[in-house]
Amino acid sequence: MKPAPFEYFAPETAEEALALLAEYGMDARPLAGGQSLVPLINMRMAQPAVLVDLNHCCELAYLREEEKMLVSGPMTRQRELEISNTVRAHCPLIAEAVPHMGHATIRNRGTVGGSLSHADPSAELPGVAVALDAEMVADGPNGRRTVPATEFFLAELTTALEPDEVLREIRFPKAPSGSRAAFAEVGSHFGGLALVGVAARVDLDSAGRCAAVALAAIGAGERPARLSSAETVLMGEVLGEQVIAEASEAAVIDVDPLADLHATAHWRRRAVVAMTARALREIADGGEGVAEVRR
């Protein structure tokens, strides 16, 4: 199968891109890395009449450090996140999660904004954004607005962006030094889309107790879920086996997985428990490395 015909624009500024999206409305789609959109176009599951290619908008690709935030442009490649020392130093959870996203060749091309705007319920980066309380900056004909990550992902492949808006910037709060992070996921094969994954960030105080906890699950509902009940169990506790087991069981309270051809809802719930435990154990052990299991 080959793509249906479309009109192609390659604007060089974000302003031009927004003007084109406003002009063509529902007929137009922004094209970022193309790693999700082009497969859909090739299979004719998507047939946009107009493609607005963002790859020439150099101003949309950046990674910047602010006092409290790590700031990414939408067109920053996933590969940039993976190799950046700034990301590893200030948002270790991102550094832990990105190697799980497809393969090196996909990350060379795939973008930060594309992954977040696509909003696949199994995608890692939306889970990270929800765990870190990232701020999503939308830009459109009515100007910019900031949407918290927890309100950005609405349902499967659906975000709070309007058709004439783009995701203009993503702002990740920096972790305090000593903060630990882990990302645990289970899938059918390495680099494949996750079945279930859990993103975890824990700040420990000088006595080794949990001073701040952020947990989010992917692949366990139509959007990433913040695991607040598990977070509550952990607050103020030292990360021991007993507490980890209790918190992991509490994780299912906040997920609502659906059955599909890959797994039953029950299996996904148990996988959330297992991945929560795996991520927390890794954090207890120092929070180094990427946990990956194969089914």
Partner 1 sequence: MTARRDVRVTVNGRAYTRNVEPRMLLVDFLRHECGLTGTHVGCAHGVCGACTILLDDVSIRSCLAFAVQAEGKEITTVEGLADGESPNALQRAFHENHALQCGYCTPGFLMSLTEFLRETPDPNEAQIRERLSGNLCRCTGYANIVRAVRAAARRPRDEDCAP
Ligand X SMILES: Cc1cc2nc3c(=O)[nH]c(=O)nc-3n(C[C@H](O)[C@H](O)[C@H](O)COP(=O)(O)OP(=O)(O)OC[C@H]3O[C@@H](n4cnc5c(N)ncnc54)[C@H](O)[C@@H]3O)c2cc1C
- Asked if 7 is part of the footprint of partner 1 (rule: CB under 8 A), the reply reads yes
Q: Which is nearer to ligand X, 151 or 285 (CB)?
A: 151
Long-range pairs, 177-181, Cβ under 8 A, ≥24: 178/203, 178/204, 179/92, 179/203, 179/212, 180/92, 180/204, 180/283, 180/286, 180/287, 181/92, 181/93, 181/95, 181/96, 181/283, 181/287
- Asked if 173 is part of the footprint of partner 1 (rule: CB under 8 A), the reply reads no
Stretch that binds partner 1, among 17-25, 39-47, 135-143, 269-277 (CB under 8 A): 39-47
Rounded to a whole number of angstroms, the minimum distance from the CB of residue 44 to partner 1 is: 11
Q: How would you classify residue 36: left for phi > 0, otherwise alpha for psi between -120 and 50, otherwise beta?
A: alpha
Q: Which is nearer to partner 1, 43 or 235 (CB)?
A: 43
Comparing CA positions, the residue from 150, 180, 186 lying closest to residue 262 is: 186
Residues 47-86 that bind partner 1 (CB under 8 A): 51, 53, 55
Partner interacting with residue 268 (select from ligand X, partner 1, none; CB below 5-8 Å by kind): none
Q: Which is nearer to partner 1, 104 or 235 (CB)?
A: 104
Token pair recorded at residue 269: 């719930």
* CB-neighbour burial class of residue 162 (10 A; exposed 0-12, middle 13-18, buried 19+): middle
Q: Contacting partner 1 (CB under 8 A), which of 35, 78, 111, 117?
A: 35
**CA dist., res. 129 & res. 106, Å (int):** 20
- Asked if 11 is part of the footprint of partner 1 (rule: CB under 8 A), the reply reads no
- Asked if 29 is part of the footprint of ligand X (rule: CB under 6 A), the reply reads yes
Partner interacting with residue 43 (select from ligand X, partner 1, none; CB below 5-8 Å by kind): partner 1
- Asked if 288 is part of the footprint of partner 1 (rule: CB under 8 A), the reply reads no
